[in-house]
Structure 1
């Protein structure tokens, strides 16, 4: 993804010698990439580095922070499913019957 953004920015800069609006477009592309595109991967790597160094590393290969986030999402989903079954017993029984067919 980064290679595509860099090459696209280079093309926009080359177009910018004829029309300066292309330079503005190149700056906008770089800004959006830094703000949104690269943000998720750099945040994950920096948080996994800090948590791995504090936790002593893991032999499973998965970063502890990403597994913790997965576990939190899974537990929250299970909590909502239990609440739904408790508050709407008829609908949940109907869904269980449909699954078993």
Structure 2
């Protein structure tokens, strides 16, 4: 979240002391801005966060590729 968004949320919270509806608006704005966009979800979906997660994913992919090669050889020979 940017500085402007955090400032807007802070202003809405302060305004909420006079009218509680502003607190609801601030909460909705916070939840809306906190949610990742579609492009961010797609970009980070396949990328592991740690090297250990990367190795596990790489090894799992290698097992699937070996299995596919065995099945393909068995079917076509």
| TM-score when normalising by structure 1 | 0.39
| TM-score when normalising by structure 2 | 0.49
The structure richer in helix per residue is 1
RCO (CA 8 Å, sep 6+): is it higher in 1 or 2?
A: 2
